[in-house]
Structure formats: structure tokens, C-alpha cells
């Protein structure tokens, strides 16, 4: 009986979790740009849950908007040092226009995001953040 009750609670919690999955525009009105420090933004938008979606919006390169892009860094150390040698390109400078580029946080692991443009100086100046989505039953 106790196990059955626990199971019902777990299922209920995960259903609530599913209905709470959110879609967030990274940086809010600032969108995804160089010169903005995303650490604070990420902190304010925590917690993230599995299946939440992050939308990266940025204009294609032009005279008034320098190119930015979106990389996945493989671990905390490359994140801290803005080392892109093992990074994976998620979205090139043209892929953030219009509706933006959406990343679903569908695994329970840290996601390290950064822009690799500007010779990693954008990253070093704060154009990076990480998110660890919680499983939905963890509410
Ligand atoms: C970004 O903000 C965080 C938190 O306030 C701070 O620790 C960090 O040094 C800032 N990064 C830069 C490059 O200013």
C-alpha cells in the first residue's frame, strides 16, 4: 500500500512537472549578445527542469551587430577558461534570427553554453552560462 501511494505521488509529480516545462528566451530583452553578463540571468532563471527549452535569439552579422554564435562546452574547466578546442557548434551566426535557435534541456546533466565569436573574448566577458536541469519529479 505504501509503495503504491508513493508511486501515485511520483506519477502525479511528474505530470505536474511536464505541465510546467517552460520556454525561456535567454537574456530576456537583451537576447543573446556580447557585452551582457549571463551569469546573473541564469541565476535568476533557475531552477531549470528537464524538457525546458532555451531560445537563443540574435541578429545575423551586419555592420550594427557583430557576429555571435552558440557553442556547447564539454566541461566545467573549458567553461571557466573559455577554451573552445573541444566545443561543439550548436548554432552559427545566422541561426539565431527570426524565432531564434531552440535548445531542449532533455538530459540530466550540466549544459555549458557560450559564444565562440570574438576570439573567445565575448565568452570571457560574460557571454556564457550553465544550466543543470532537474528531473521533473524533483519539485
Ligand atoms: C559576471 O557576473 C558574475 C556574477 O555577478 C561575476 O561573478 C562575474 O565575474 C561576472 N563576469 C564578468 C566577466 O564580469
The verdict on the CB of residue 51 being under 6 Å from ligand 1 is: no
Specify the pairing of strand 128-131 against strand 23-25: unpaired
pLDDT at 15: 55
One-letter-per-residue 3-state SS of 10-53:
HHHHHHHHHHHCCEEECCHHHCCCCCCCHHHHHHHHCCCECCCE
Rounded-to-integer distance, Cα 38 and Cα 50, Å: 20
As a whole number of angstroms, the distance between CA 54 and CA 96 comes to 12
Check if 39 has its Cβ closer than 6 Å to any atom of ligand 1: yes
Ligand 1: which of 30, 38, 39, 79 to mutate, most ligand atoms within 8 Å of CB?
Answer: 39
Query: What would the pLDDT profile of 89-121 be if each residue is shown by its tens digit?
Result: 999 999 999 999 999 999 999 999 999 999 999
Write the residue with the smallest CA distance to atom 7 of ligand 1: 39
pTM of the predicted structure, to 2 decimals: 0.85
In terms of Cα–Cα distance, which of 137, 121, 115, 135 is closest to 52?
A: 135
- Atom of ligand 1 at shortest distance to CA of 126? 13
Q: Each residue of 19-62: pLDDT tens digit?
A: 578 999 999 999 999 999 999 999 999 999 999 999 999 999 99
User: Smallest Cα–Cα separation from 105: which of 31, 61, 42?
Assistant: 42
Q: 37 CA to middle of ligand 1, Å?
A: 6
- Asked if 89 and 110 count as a contact pair (C-beta separation under 8 A), the reply is no
Say which CATH architecture domain 2-131 belongs to: Sandwich (2.60)
Residue 95 Cβ contacting ligand 1 at under 6 Å: no
Amino acid at each position: 500500500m505504501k509503495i503504491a501511494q508513493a508511486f501515485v505521488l511520483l506519477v502525479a509529480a511528474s505530470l505536474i512537472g511536464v505541465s510546467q516545462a517552460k520556454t525561456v528566451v535567454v537574456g530576456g530583452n537583451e537576447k543573446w549578445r556580447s557585452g551582457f553578463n549571463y551569469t546573473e540571468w541564469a541565476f535568476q532563471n533557475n531552477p531549470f527542469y528537464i524538457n525546458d527549452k532555451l531560445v537563443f535569439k540574435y541578429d545575423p552579422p551586419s555592420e550594427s551587430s557583430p557576429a555571435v554564435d552558440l557553442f556547447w562546452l564539454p566541461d566545467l574547466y573549458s567553461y571557466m577558461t573559455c577554451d573552445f578546442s573541444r566545443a561543439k557548434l550548436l548554432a552559427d551566426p545566422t541561426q539565431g534570427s527570426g524565432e531564434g535557435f531552440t535548445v531542449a534541456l532533455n538530459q540530466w546533466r550540466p549544459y555549458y553554453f557560450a559564444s565562440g565569436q570574438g576570439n573567445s573574448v565575448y565568452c570571457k566577458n560574460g557571454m556564457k552560462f550553465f544550466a543543470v536541469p532537474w528531473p521533473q519529479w524533483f519539485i
